[in-house]
């Protein structure tokens, strides 16, 4: 059976949380291509032309959870707007 025996200490390999080298290289290439295409201006155009793809990208870069701490709690603001009846 491959791997280490149960109860033995892990040695070698990447440290926990270290990014994969290939992932880092791909990210650099994507950012370079974005920069060459106009950066923010290009993304704005994509938001207008391809909103579904753009919002998928937004969903990938937003944090999955929102957390506050005791000194700075996350606050929710609810705003209601009344419109006149026609």
Residue 71 is assigned to a structural domain of this protein = no
Whether residue 30 lies inside any domain: the answer is: yes
pTM of the predicted model, to two decimals?
A: 0.49
Q: 27 is in which domain, residue-wise?
A: 21-61
CA atoms within 13 A on the CB side of 4: 8
Residues 5, 82: Cα–Cα separation, whole Å: 66
Residues 41/43/46/51 CA torsion (nearest 10 deg): -130
3-state secondary structure of 18: coil
Tally of structural domains, the chain: 1
Q: Can you list the positions of beta strands (E) in the chain?
A: none
In this predicted model, what pLDDT tens digit does every residue of 31-70 receive, in sequence order? Answer: 899 999 999 999 999 999 999 999 998 888 887 777 778 8
């Amino acid at each position: 059976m491959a791997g280490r025996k149960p109860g033995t200490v892990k040695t070698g390999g990447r440290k926990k949380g270290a990014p994969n080298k290939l992932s880092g290289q791909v990210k650099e290439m994507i950012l370079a291509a974005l920069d060459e295409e106009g950066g923010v201006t290009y993304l704005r155009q994509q938001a207008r032309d391809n909103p579904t793809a753009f919002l998928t990208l937004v969903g990938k870069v937003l944090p999955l959870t929102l957390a506050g701490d005791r000194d700075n709690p996350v606050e929710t603001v609810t705003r209601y707007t009344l419109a006149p009846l026609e």
